[in-house]
Every structure is written in C-alpha cells, then in structure tokens.
Structure 1
Amino acid sequence: MSTETSPHTHPDTTPRAGSETSADTGVGSGATPGAAVVVERLSAGYPGVRALDEVSITVGAGRICALLGANGSGKSTLFKALLGLHRPTAGTVRLFGMDPSRARRRNQVSYVPQHEQVDTSFPVSVEQVVMMGRYGHMGLTKRARPSDRLACDEALDQVGLSELRRRGIGELSGGQRKRAFLARAIAQQAPLMLLDEPFAGVDRGSEELISSVLKALRDTSGTTVLISTHHLAGVEDLADEVVLLHQRVLAAGLPSEVLTEEQLGRSFGAVLRETT
C-alpha cells in the first residue's frame, strides 16, 4: 500500500513525515500489476449527501486490508460501489480488472454483510446457509455435488461450527451467526472477500477465530480480504495494510505507520467535530 501523494491517491492534506510506505505494500496507483481492487477517483453519495469524494485505493492480491473509519465515513457506500450496488457520480471501480457486476457473475467476490436478515421462524439450518455459497458452482440444477459438500464441510470446520451444522440459523448466538455467514463466503471460494464490520456484536472468542480464519485464507489460498471496520482492537495484528477513510482517503499504509494517535485523530476526530 502506498500513501505517496500522486494522481491516484488523494488524502485531504499533504502526507506528514513517516506516513509514506514503499510501493510494494499494495495500495497506491491503479496501475499496480496484479491488483485485486482498484478504485480511482471515486465520488458517490445520496440526495443531499456526499459520501465519498475522489477516493482512490488499490489493494494487491493476497493482502488483508482494513478500511477504517467512524460511522458515517463512507465505508458502507464504498462497499456498495465495490459490489456494483451503488452507482458512483464519478470515478471507476475494478475487481481483478473487471467491473463489479462482471466480477460477481464470474464468482470473483464474496461478501459478508454487517447485518444479515434472518427469519428465525424459517426452518433453514446452518449447513443449508453455508451451502448457499456454492450456488455459483452448481450450474442450472443447483444440486450439490461431492465437491460442493466438501467445500461446505471444510468451511464449517474452519469457523468451528461443524457440530452445529444441523441447528437452525435462528438458534445461533450473534457470534455464531456471524461465523456461519463467514463460512458461506469461504465455501464460495472467491478470490476476493469483502467483510462489513465483521467484529460488530461478536464475543472475544469469535473475534479471535474470525481473525485467525482470515489470515489462514490469505496464507493458504491467496485470498484478498477487505474489511470495513471502526473496531481498532486487533487491526494492527490482522491487517497487512490500513486505509483511514472519512469521505476521502486520509491516510494509507502499513498498520504501524497509519495507526498512530495523530492519524486516528484526523479520521475519528473529523466525525466528532461534525457532530458537536
């Protein structure tokens, strides 16, 4: 991830000493070879609200990137743009060189939302939820094959839910449910995984397990992981790189260089100033 001020990176002030990183760390120019995510000069919003202002981010393949910002910083809007669910007013998004809609059709991206709507009265099991991640692999019949069942089994094992596979999804605790939806994304076997606030409302044990699973996916299968979060604890250990967002990219680079009191004050303090 690179934080050098260039035509592709637009922090709202000149980077301060110590805030730059080497170009080989993943985020920087949209021309980076082998990039999984390239966002260039992206602006987006809603009637009367400008959520993103010329945001440029590049995430190299096989990296874990934490998109860090307070509520209202534009993280959710950026995720919607990455998924092709929100049309930007300017700029471009490319996932492995493809527009988001094509990337989704080609099973290049999986998504774990912050809140999953669950009808607790509907009799769907944990295993059935995880198997939904395999639908893109099943063809027109949508019948599970041995390879689909194996992927489902492995995903359940990775998140520690094998023994609860036949339990109703509505019977799980918040942390267990989050792990089940992570397992669904794992079973999809997409090379890019987006997670929106994966640590919100989970217990410490689930948080540690989710972090461990994400690092294993990066190390064993080269999965690129982009995490949207305002949860500071554990980010430095989990992420290869961090982007601080408040409508614009305020800082980007290695966790040790971005997660400083000064940089965090710029990101989270901006929201506090606007609400006081």
Structure 2
Amino acid sequence: MDNIARTAVGLASLGRPAYINLGRDPELPADRTVDAMREATFAVLDRAYAAGVRRVDAARSYGRAEEFLADWLTARGHVDVTVSSKWGYAYVGEWRLDAAVHEVKEHSLARFRQQWAETRDALPVVPALYQVHSLTPDSPLFDDRGLQAALGELVDAGVRVGFSTSGPVQADTIRRALDLTVAGRQLFTAVQSTWNVLESSAGLALAEAHKAGVLVQLKETLANGRLAVDPPEVVADIARAHGTTPDAVALGSAYAEEWADVVLVGPAGVAQLDANLAAASLQLSDDDLERLAELRENPQEYWARRSQLVWG
C-alpha cells in the first residue's frame, strides 16, 4: 500500500494555541489568534491534500480543531476525506497559552453523549471513526456497561468505534479493550497508540491487533517532537546518510512496520508537513532499522519525561 495513503494529519498542534510538542514556535503564526490558527490549519490541510493525504484526525480536546476542519471541508468541497475524532478530554484552556489547565479527562456516559453531540454539530460529515481518547487500564469505561452499550449503539449506526492509548502499559490496555464485547460483538475495531523508536513497547500488541483485523494507527511518531528537534545521534547519522531529515527517518521506521495501517503526523506548519511526508518515500535498510530499534527507552522513563513537557 502506498505510504501516502497510510498517512493521516493530526490537528493536535493546530487546533489550539498551546500544546506540548517541541518545535512548534517557528512554524506557528506569531500571533496565535483563532483566525491565524485557522489559516495555518487550512495551509497544512491544503498541502496534505495536494500530496494525496486523505485522512485527518481531530479530537474534542484539540481546541477548535473540529471547527477548523469543518470550515476547510466546507470551503474546499472535498468529499473524499476520511475524518476521525476522539472524545473523553474536554478543552478548558480558553485559548490561553498560560492556562493553568488545558484539558480535563472524563470517561463517562454523560461525557460521551455530550461530546458526540458536539462533534456531530461541529462537523459537516459523520466521522468514519470515533475514539475513546487516551484509554488506560484504570479507565471507568471497563466497568461501565451503560457506556459500553452506548458505544455499541454508535457501531450499530455505522460508525467505527476505537480508542487511543497512552502510558507505559499501552499493551495491557490494548489487549483488554479489544476483548470487550457488546451483545456478543467486539466493541472496538480500531486502536491509535503511541509508537516511535523511543517508545515501541506496544508493538507486539498492535501487531496482534492488526492480524485480528483491527485498524492500527500510530501516533506521537516523533515523540512529541523530540526526534525532530533533538534527535539521537543514530537518527541524525542515518538522516545524513540518506540525505534527509531526522523526522523523516523516525517516521520511516513507523512506515516500515507492516502492521501499521495508518501513520499519523502532527505538523504545526507546511514546512514540517513537507519534511514529514518525505518519509513516505524513504527506504530504510535492515541495518538502519536495527540501529533505530536499539534506541528503545524504558517505558516508565519515557512517559515520565513526556509528563514533564510544558504546554506552550
């Protein structure tokens, strides 16, 4: 399958003024007004569409991401874009860079019903995929039969239901969630997990999911910008050898995983998008991939470092 067809543009960096991704500042408008961020979103989506990308991923907590996406779809008239979104976090940052809290998580039936209604109101199309945002083993969803039944109703309505994962025990979450059934039928048929050369602990569980027919999507493929802004020397060395950039090498390792159906990129601007998309045609050698695999960090340490990233 063509790697561009496997690519999705995530709007986490563009739908709100603050986020934890490194390297955003040079790409974003100097004045991060709503209008300026909308224009930046349009520019990225226009360039992605021209390159052949037909998948866009948003979330209720990505500020105005769904609104910007809706405006773009309406203005451009595109009808061949696969839209996915997520519920579970609410954006509470009030469009402030210095907000004390930017998002609040709640996996409840009430939050699902509220945010599904908001998503349907915001978008001109029904999302092809609606996901539980950042599912972890301690989520009340696992014991909430009412919430599970409501998600099952969404499946009955023709919407694919999935979940994203975060944290050092993603593999456990993936396997447990994929065992959930409603009325004898598997509830979740898509998963979106953090995977990159520094944090690849979910790889085996994701490969199992793909083999079972579940749509597997990789997020945070650049480790929230770490692999682009301050890449390990191995990544930089391989990039030099291929005449490309470190982010392309990091993304190239994600494309190399045959069980990865979708690889998400999260650019803050057109230049970052262009650099990211160079990975779609990059052919890493077996030796390259083996060297990159050696960069794997302890998951506990990786997620502890991620938790220290500052919103800005």
Higher share of residues assigned helix: 2
**Higher relative contact order structure (alpha carbons within 8 Å, sequence separation ≥ 6):** 1
Q: TM-score, normalised by structure 1?
A: 0.39
Q: TM-score, normalised by structure 2?
A: 0.35
Higher share of residues assigned strand: 1
